[in-house]
Amino acid sequence: MSAMATRGNAVWALLSVTLMLSSCANSDAPQPGTPAFYWAAAKETYATGDYQKTIEHLGNLLSTQNDYVSRAQPWMLILTSGMAHGYMELADAFEAGGRANPAQATAFHRRVSDYRGSASRLSLQFAETFGNFQSKEDPVTLSFAYPTGSPAEVVLLTRVAQGAMPPAAEIETAQRNAIERAVLLATCRAAGAGGDPAKAQDLLKSGAAKVPKATFVQAMATALYEQSQLYSHNKLDDPDKMKIFCSRAQEALKVLPASKETDDLNKKIEATLKKTKA
């Protein structure tokens, strides 16, 4: 190759790099590490059903003060509480399976331990986020789309609870379905559409659903109480954490107007707290 050709190739290579860098600099895409970047990333991973990754992106947003915090907090609360509930249901199904199938009890109990560990991590993250939730906005805005998944019960978990140990691939599918279902139901409840997924889907189609603050906080208080049961004597056996979750649920109820729902939940909390003192 001639020296002139070599110099020509070098010039074209340099020009290509310059044009590429110029294009990147002029791009409207948010810069990595910025709040806008994490918000866009959360939207992207959520759309694919990767809720764990979405939580990581939202966590990065909530680690600083920025314009996205008021939108990220409700989303984080729903995802962490929903996923925690899904793992709790998975653990309960495998625990029942271990009792029904003593010959494979060790394999079932290994799953129980893993699922309850995951549920606890998510529950603690949920409780911490709720402790920082001081939104003055009323209504609360749910700035995300209707989640993937189905509200129907996961059929495979019924078989598991009866003692059938499925292949690993089927367990992975059941796990994904259980998590998606739990997040969907948590979303419905937070939107004030518990038991009515179609209503929740309609509310969320705009990407900015407005929910009365009392409705949202009631849903969070209920989730706190439900997750307190993870720390009961026959599960993780941590009465201190159980008290913390119950106390936070009670504090949340104090700011809500009295209703049958708040009254019923408060009675359940009081009953749980009495058991921890026994």
**Residue ranges covered by each domain of the chain:** 31-213
Query: Which residue, 235, 231, 119, is CA-closest to 175?
Result: 119
Is the separation of the CB atoms in 224 and 85 below 8 Å?
no
pLDDT 10s digits, 28-48: 788 999 999 999 999 999 999
pLDDT 10s digits, 231-242: 999 999 999 999
**Whole-number CA gyration radius for the chain:** 23
Query: Residue holding tokens 């793992």?
Result: 87
Provide the pLDDT for residue 134: 73
pLDDT 10s digits, 96-113: 999 999 999 999 999 999
User: What's the one-letter identity of residue 116?
Assistant: R
pLDDT > 50? residue 18: no
Q: Quote the CA–CA distance of 104 and 117 in Å, as a whole number.
A: 21
pLDDT > 60? residue 117: yes
Between 135 and 224, the higher pLDDT residue:
224
pTM (global) more than 0.85: yes
The mean pLDDT of the chain is: 90
**Looking at residues 255-259, what average pLDDT do you find?**
93
pLDDT > 60? residue 203: yes
Angle, CA 121 vertex, CA 118 and CA 122 arms, to 5°? 85
Q: In the Cβ-directed half-sphere of 272, how many Cα atoms lie within 13 Å?
A: 28
Q: Where are the alpha helices (DSSP H) in the chain?
A: 3-26, 35-47, 51-62, 69-100, 105-131, 155-161, 168-190, 197-204, 213-228, 239-254, 260-277
**Looking at residues 80-100, what average pLDDT do you find?**
98
